């Protein structure tokens, strides 16, 4: 009877083990990390080809192009967030764990962000230079991506959980997630644009931080609920 009282729960250790597992898996099949980055680069280079290589036009469009590119490549990588676990039966083990599922979901989202959003953030200044973003706006771009891409992973986790049992659910995942991404897109590009016009941009960052906090609190709960419901 007294199992829980005697054994202390090591939720943190379980999360660390899960993060270590997912990162190891990502490094063993590097495509998981490199492909979204290559996709990001390609999408961003399509715009000069599709519109005009004009310096003024591009520098005006750059924040939007980079942010939409980042948003789409995060979406691409989200498809496998829970699906790979579902395919080999690991998801049942997550669901059967005595640790709170939202905590485990948060661990999975964190490692997903490290292998997707974080890498894109590091890569973004390079694209900013290619698209002639004013030098003053590069730091704001970096900071908005750093604050905003975790929100993309968090909100996208809900869609990934809801579509985990659906074959070829990638398009559906996009449909479910994109409306949730709109506020992040608006405030993040707003901040970069403001900085490019030498206007204050810290207010936008506060809003992005609010979204991040909201996402951290609510998204794991919703995603965990969705995983339980879908696997019934």
User: Applying CB under 8 A, which residues contact other proteins?
Assistant: 1, 3-4, 7, 9-10, 13-14, 16-18, 20-21, 24-25, 28-29, 87-90, 92-99, 104, 158, 162-163, 165-166, 169, 172, 175-176, 178-180, 182-183, 186-187, 190, 211, 214, 218, 222, 225-226, 229-232
Closest distance between other proteins and the C-beta of residue 130, in Å?
25
| 70 and 149 Cβ atoms separated by less than 8 Å | yes
- Nearer to other proteins by Cβ, of 3 and 56: the residue is 3
3-state secondary structure of 169: coil
Closest distance between other proteins and the C-beta of residue 16, in Å?
8
Instruction: Give CA separation, 105 vs 19, 125, 146, 225, in Å.
Output: 10, 30, 20, 10
Closest distance between other proteins and the C-beta of residue 129, in Å?
26
- Nearer to other proteins by Cβ, of 40 and 187: the residue is 187
**Residue 167: DSSP 8-state:** T
| 223 and 100 Cβ atoms separated by less than 8 Å | no
Reading the block at residue 31, the tokens are: 């495509």
**Residue 199: DSSP 8-state:** -
Closest distance between other proteins and the C-beta of residue 42, in Å?
25
Closest distance between other proteins and the C-beta of residue 182, in Å?
6
- Nearer to other proteins by Cβ, of 20 and 46: the residue is 20
- Nearer to other proteins by Cβ, of 40 and 82: the residue is 82
- Nearer to other proteins by Cβ, of 21 and 59: the residue is 21
Closest distance between other proteins and the C-beta of residue 35, in Å?
16
- Nearer to other proteins by Cβ, of 83 and 123: the residue is 83
Instruction: Give CA separation, 194 vs 12, 105, 144, 175, in Å.
Output: 40, 35, 12, 29
Query: In angstroms, rounded to a whole number, what is the distance separating the alpha carbons of residues 227 and 232?
Result: 9
| 51 and 57 Cβ atoms separated by less than 8 Å | yes
Q: Which residue has the tokens 């965990």?
A: 224
Query: In angstroms, rounded to a whole number, what is the distance separating the alpha carbons of residues 15 and 22?
Result: 11
Closest distance between other proteins and the C-beta of residue 126, in Å?
27
Question: 133 exposed, middle or buried (CB, 10 Å; 0-12, 13-18, 19+)?
Answer: buried
Reading the block at residue 208, the tokens are: 């992005």
- Nearer to other proteins by Cβ, of 129 and 175: the residue is 175
């Amino acid at each position: 009877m007294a199992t829980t009282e005697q054994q202390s729960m090591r939720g943190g250790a379980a999360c660390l083990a899960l993060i270590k597992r997912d990162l190891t898996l990502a490094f063993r099949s590097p495509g998981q990390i490199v492909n979204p980055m290559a996709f990001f680069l390609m999408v961003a280079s399509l715009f000069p080809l599709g519109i005009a290589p004009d310096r003024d036009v591009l520098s005006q469009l750059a924040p939007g192009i980079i942010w939409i590119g980042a948003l789409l490549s995060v979406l691409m990588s989200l498809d496998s967030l829970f699906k790979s676990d579902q395919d080999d039966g690991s998801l049942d083990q997550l669901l059967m764990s005595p640790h709170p599922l939202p905590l485990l979901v948060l661990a999975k989202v964190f490692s997903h962000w490290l292998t997707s959003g974080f890498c894109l953030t590091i890569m973004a200044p390079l694209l900013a230079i290619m698209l002639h973003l004013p030098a003053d706006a590069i730091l704001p771009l970096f900071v908005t991506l750093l604050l905003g891409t975790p929100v993309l992973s968090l909100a996208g986790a809900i869609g990934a959980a809801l579509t985990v049992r659906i074959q070829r659910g990638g398009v559906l995942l996009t449909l479910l997630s994109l409306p949730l991404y709109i506020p992040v897109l608006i405030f993040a590009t707003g901040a970069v644009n403001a900085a490019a016009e030498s206007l204050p941009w810290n207010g936008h960052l506060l809003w992005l931080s609010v979204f991040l906090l909201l996402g951290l609190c609510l998204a794991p709960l919703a995603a965990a609920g969705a995983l339980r419901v879908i696997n019934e």
